[in-house]
Structure 1
Amino acid sequence: MTTSRVLYLFSSAAPPVFDVAKVIDDAQARGFDVCLGLTPTAARWLGDQCGELERLTGHPVRAEYKLPGEPDVWPKADVIVVAPATFNTMNAWALGITRDFVVGVAAEGIGKGIPLVAMPCVNAAYVQHRQFERSVTELREMGVEVLYGQGGFVPNQPGQGKPNEYPWHLALDAAERMAE
């Protein structure tokens, strides 16, 4: 299959991020040219793997904003997937707090009309915080497809996460639909 659609895959520091190489393989098999962006903590978690991830994607792995005047090193996105999206990433994005590169690009993507998919990875204690549901609602109202609840990510109790069961395929299925 030829790759013609560009997927920005943005990941936060949650245990499913350790499967990102398999997700990239799956996305490429679906015809995506993948550019991987990480939050600073996710970049630290995957630090020793970033070289291999760059070889896999053919693009630099990014976790920081470029300096003014530096050229863009990625092609333009056809779709952006933010997964796993932590409590912090979901709330910062909904509130427009763009300190991190991936949150900033995702926030800008709303204004640019780039199709966006978010799939949280939070435990059941975090979702009790009122801001989380507000953030999910706010992102949905801005046109982001948030895969949360029935048919998306369902939180586990704290300490009982199942990172191997994170439904990555749902995020890639949504990206495929949205990039057509």
Structure 2
Amino acid sequence: MAELERVSGHPVRWEPRRPGEGDVWPAADVIAFAPVTANSLKAWALGLTPSWVVGAVVAGVGRRVPMVAMPCVNQVLAAHPQVDRSVAVLREAGVRVLYGEGGWVPNRPGEGRPQAFPWGFVLDVVDQEARPGQ
């Protein structure tokens, strides 16, 4: 964590602020949420805040911060109708969801491939969202 603080110039925060406590971070230019689990995806779309990170992206929608998300779910979880509904809700809210053709395509259960997660693609899209029109 010390290295993250050094590189970012800001303290690492892993818990919500306490009431009345000021924010030590600057406003975000863009937020990337990747990989997003099916659970976090559905909570985000419903506006639920079960964790600090999901609360941050729920608030990001309200603040109209440009956001990029790439769900990373397998075919069994993706078959649940709430996954597609959640993707649609987030897209309607202005989130750029990289899912399906041109994004994450669900794999078979048990066929985890973390080394194949397209971080470069996610970061390229984040860069586009941070500088629209360029």
Normalised by the length of structure 2, the TM-score is 0.90
Structure 2 CA distance, aligned partners of 1:63 and 1:172?
Answer: 22
Find the counterpart in structure 1 of residue 51 from structure 2.
100
Find the counterpart in structure 2 of residue 72 from structure 1.
23
Cα shift at 1:59:
2.8
Find the counterpart in structure 2 of residue 159 from structure 1.
110
Find the counterpart in structure 2 of residue 122 from structure 1.
73
Task: Write out aligned runs for 1:22-171 (5 A).
Answer: 50-171=1-122
List alignment gaps of at least 5 residues for structure 2: none
Cα shift at 1:159:
1.2
**Structure with the bigger percentage of strand:** 1
Letter of the aligned partner of 1:87 in structure 2? A
Structure 2 CA distance, aligned partners of 1:60 and 1:122?
Answer: 31
Cα shift at 1:151:
1.2
Task: Provide Cα deviations, 1:61-112, integer angstroms capped at 9, x if missing partner.
Answer: 3332110111212111000111111111100000010121111121111121
SS at match of 2:75: coil
Normalised by the length of structure 1, the TM-score is 0.68
| Residue identity (%) | 55
Letter of the aligned partner of 1:140 in structure 2? R
SS at match of 1:105: helix
Structure 2 CA distance, aligned partners of 1:59 and 1:159?
Answer: 38
SS at match of 1:66: coil
Cα shift at 1:55:
3.6
Structure 1 CA distance, aligned partners of 2:5 and 2:78?
Answer: 34
Runs of 4+, deviation exceeding 4 Å: none
Structure 2 CA distance, aligned partners of 1:55 and 1:160?
Answer: 37
Letter of the aligned partner of 2:105 in structure 1? V
Letter of the aligned partner of 2:44 in structure 1? W
